[in-house]
Amino acid sequence: MFSLKNKTAVITGAGSGIGKATALLFAEQGAIVHIIDLNKIEAEATAKEIINLNGSAIVHECNVSTQEKVIEVFKTIDTVDILVNSAGISHIGNAENTRERDFDRLYNVNVKGVYNCIHAALPVMKNKRAGVILNLASVANHVGLADRFAYSMTKGAVYAMTLSVARDFLNYGIRCNCISPARVHTPFVDGFIKKNYPGQEKEMFEKLSKTQPIGRMAKPHEIAWLILYLCSDEASFITGCDYPIDGGSIKINN
């Protein structure tokens, strides 16, 4: 089950976190993995892990917010069976204290970046009359999160784009879904805590973990397993759906 043998998967943000875990799992399941990431060093490290496990991985250094560059990268990829839009950034702030440049920065990566990759992949998928697109949304598009104004805006847009693509391209055999994770223990979380709470890292990590009903953060590979399912042939009847994977955060906390 969940075999991706002979499938080509493009995963953005696969240099770390959820994207990396997804790339490793997809390769393990037989996919040819194309890694798109702005951080070439991290992307190559992920590719090296895959190759060391006898998998197949190709690295593309790319800023997903630049459409010309994204289209150029997709033209070098022979075919696209699966697109996972995992690349994303965050910001702390509310509608009053969020600066315009931060709002634009998040929009460019989290919204425009997702659009750019979908825009580039769709012609190939339409020609094949088959394809799967999986976008990373967030619990932020379901509940109000304190001081996550710009981030919540972007993830709400991702959710809306998912529904639109699923509707518009259903007759081409293209499925499009998204998932909504709660807090996941990634290098970003560690970096955020270290930067904002120096000397209190352990205490803040525990505090953030316990904000979720399940009592801990998710692990990247736990998110990757859901992504694998939704991108596999076993999920062929699923499109236009959002799947919370949140440790009870949406239903239990609210």
Query: What amino acid occupies position 201?
Result: E
| Nearest of 120, 94, 101 to residue 36 by alpha carbon | 120
Helix axes 113-128, 149-168, angle to 10 degrees: 10
Is 159 marked active-site?
no
Closest CA relative to residue 39, chosen from 87, 72, 83: 87
d(CA 103, CA 21): 28
Among the options 151, 197, 229, 243, which is catalytic? Answer: 151
Distance CA 78, CA 93 (A): 41
CA separation for the pair 41, 131 (Å, rounded): 29
Residue 166 CB partners (closer than 8 Å, separation 6+): 175, 176, 177, 239, 240, 241
Active-site residue list = 151
